[in-house]
């Protein structure tokens, strides 16, 4: 009985420690970032200490996408890589819908103090001239809102499958580029992580 009480006291003390979630890299994207061999998967495979989480879906566009309202910057160090816009070059709807959607997403993320990395959608020749307008909206509003945004200047259509979706080598280049934009502490995995509630610790100590 005595040892049983001691076990529960130790477990409660373990659970009472400050718990800080592992900083996440949340990828919001479309089919360019979705499949198993895409750049987020490469980023995690080559840097297994990174906590990469994918909010990606083929066909997703800025106009119709809604960020889950309960998304929180749990670690206070979470990063959102925002790579949308390619599918907004289809449909022929006014760019004001892209503008409104993008601004809404950025304001939401800024209010929750995420570190935001916006990647401009590739200027694919098969999507011209519409993709040019989408890129202009994203660039203009990123500047206005003070959001870090980047053009993938190394993008080469000869390294894509269909002038839009990157092949393995181009995906690797994207992964390397995103890695270079991360906080050095996140790159090395040296961010301090708090002790989480883990009753297994108590079992090990008791034994």
Higher pLDDT residue, 156 or 191? Answer: 156
Report the relative pairing of strands 24-29 and 148-150 from DSSP bridges. unpaired
Instruction: State pLDDT tens for residues 32-82.
Output: 999 878 999 999 999 999 999 999 999 999 999 999 999 999 999 999 999
Over residues 177-195, the mean pLDDT reads 73
Residue 11 pLDDT greater than 60, yes or no:
no
Over residues 175-193, the mean pLDDT reads 80
Over residues 143-151, the mean pLDDT reads 98
Instruction: State pLDDT tens for residues 195-207.
Output: 333 333 233 333 3
Higher pLDDT residue, 201 or 3? Answer: 3
Q: Per-residue b/e over 41-63, b at no fewer than 16 CB within 10 Å?
A: bbbbeebeebbbebbbeeebbbb
Residue 121 pLDDT greater than 60, yes or no:
yes
CA–CA gap between residue 156 and residue 163 (Å, rounded): 9
Read off the DSSP letter of residue 31: G
What's the pLDDT score for residue 91? 79
Residue 134 pLDDT greater than 70, yes or no:
yes
Number of continuous H segments (helices) and E segments (strands) in the chain: 7, 5
CA–CA gap between residue 14 and residue 123 (Å, rounded): 52
Higher pLDDT residue, 144 or 19? Answer: 144
What percentage of the chain carries pLDDT values higher than 90?
74
Q: What is the set of domains in the chain, with CATH numbers?
A: 1-20+195-207 (no CATH), 21-191 (3.40.50.1110)
What's the pLDDT score for residue 205? 31
What's the pLDDT score for residue 163? 94
């Amino acid at each position: 009985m005595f040892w049983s009480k001691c076990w529960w006291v130790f477990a409660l003390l373990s659970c009472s420690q400050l718990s800080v979630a592992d900083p996440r890299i949340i990828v919001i994207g479309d089919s360019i970032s979705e499949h198993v061999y895409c750049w987020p998967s490469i980023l995690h495979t080559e840097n297994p200490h990174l906590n990469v989480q994918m909010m990606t879906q083929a066909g997703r566009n800025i106009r119709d996408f809604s960020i889950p309202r309960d998304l929180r910057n749990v670690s206070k160090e979470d990063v959102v890589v925002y790579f949308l816009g390619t599918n907004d070059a289809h449909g022929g709807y006014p760019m004001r819908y892209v503008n409104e959607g993008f601004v809404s997403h950025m304001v939401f993320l800024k209010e929750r103090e995420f570190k935001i990395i916006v990647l401009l959608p590739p200027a694919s020749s098969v999507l011209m001239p519409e993709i040019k307008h989408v890129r202009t909206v994203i660039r203009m509003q990123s500047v206005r809102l003070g959001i870090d945004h980047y053009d993938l200047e190394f993008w080469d259509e000869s390294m894509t499958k269909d002038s839009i979706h990157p092949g393995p080598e181009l995906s690797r280049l994207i992964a390397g580029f995103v890695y270079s934009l991360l906080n050095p502490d996140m790159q090395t995995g040296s961010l301090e992580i708090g002790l989480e509630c883990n009753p297994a610790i108590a079992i090990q100590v008791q034994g």
